[in-house]
Amino acid sequence: MPEDAYARSKLAGEMAIAEATYGGSMQIVTIRPPLVYGPGMAGHFAQLMNIVHRGLPLPLANINNRRSLIYVGNLADAIARCIEDERAAGRTFLVSDDTLSTPELIHRLAKAMSRPTRLFPFPAGLLRMIASAVGAGPKLSRLVDSLQVDSNTIRNTLEWRPPYTTAAGLSATVTHWRRHSQSTTHT
């Protein structure tokens, strides 16, 4: 049930591919990942890493959401499994390696960076009102709303398990980010 233009465009793309391949010999597999993280990622996840590294306090201590995510290495492994295993043909799979709250994610990022976690409680409703007033409502929603996917279908159908733990994925992400951020600050 897509709720925004981005999600509707993804669904339209899936439908167009299904229509284009209907009745042909090509089998399609649809893979729907949640937030993908890993070396070289950009966007909101990179912004969050910058904030955590700088030690800025965040008013998110009492956010109790659930956010599924997947390390890029785990996503690549799931894609390879779908290509190799004929049981994947014609299926749609949700894939994730972990589900964390935003405070848990921030804590794990801070730990991987050897930085303190700086979270403080703030009323979620008031935080939403402030974000909406300054035009940051959608950005805040991506950070504090829940988006949890169930990857049991790919795990049960293809016996797929993520080869990398969340800790390993975050460590690789932070290591790459450190190298990149240090090289760009000295140029």
Size (the chain), residues:
187
**In this structure, is residue 9 part of a structural domain?**
yes
Instruction: For Cα atoms 75, 78, 84, give the angle at the middle one, nearest 5 degrees.
Output: 145
Nearest residue to 153 via CA among 82, 92, 65, 68: 92
The one-letter code for the residue type at 5 is: A
**In this structure, is residue 87 part of a structural domain?**
yes
**In this structure, is residue 187 part of a structural domain?**
no
H-assigned helices in 113-157 = 124-133, 137-144, 152-157
Beta-sheet strand order (sheet of 67-71): 35-37, 67-71, 98-100
CB 61 within 8 A of CB 105: no
pLDDT at position 1, please?
72
Question: Which pair of tokens denotes residue 179?
Answer: 């190298």
pLDDT at position 11, please?
84
Helix (H) or strand (E) holding 98: strand 98-100
Locate tokens 């700088």: which residue?
A: 54
**In this structure, is residue 113 part of a structural domain?**
yes
Instruction: Supply the residues annotated as catalytic.
Output: 6
**In this structure, is residue 184 part of a structural domain?**
no
CATH label of the domain that carries residue 37: 3.40.50.720
CA distances from 105 to 45, 151, 153, 161 (A): 10, 19, 25, 21
CA distances from 130 to 20, 65, 114, 140 (A): 45, 19, 31, 10
The dihedral built from the CA positions of residue 163, 169, 173 and 179, taken in this order, carries a sign that is: negative
**In this structure, is residue 186 part of a structural domain?**
no
Range of the domain at 148: 5-173
Give mean pLDDT in consecutive 10-residue pieces for the chain, a chain of 187 residues.
Answer: 79 85 83 93 88 95 95 98 95 94 96 95 94 92 92 97 96 91 52
pLDDT at position 52, please?
95
**In this structure, is residue 161 part of a structural domain?**
yes
**In this structure, is residue 182 part of a structural domain?**
no
Q: How many domains does the chain have?
A: 1
CB 34 within 8 A of CB 96: yes
Gyration radius of the chain's alpha carbons: 19
pLDDT at position 186, please?
38
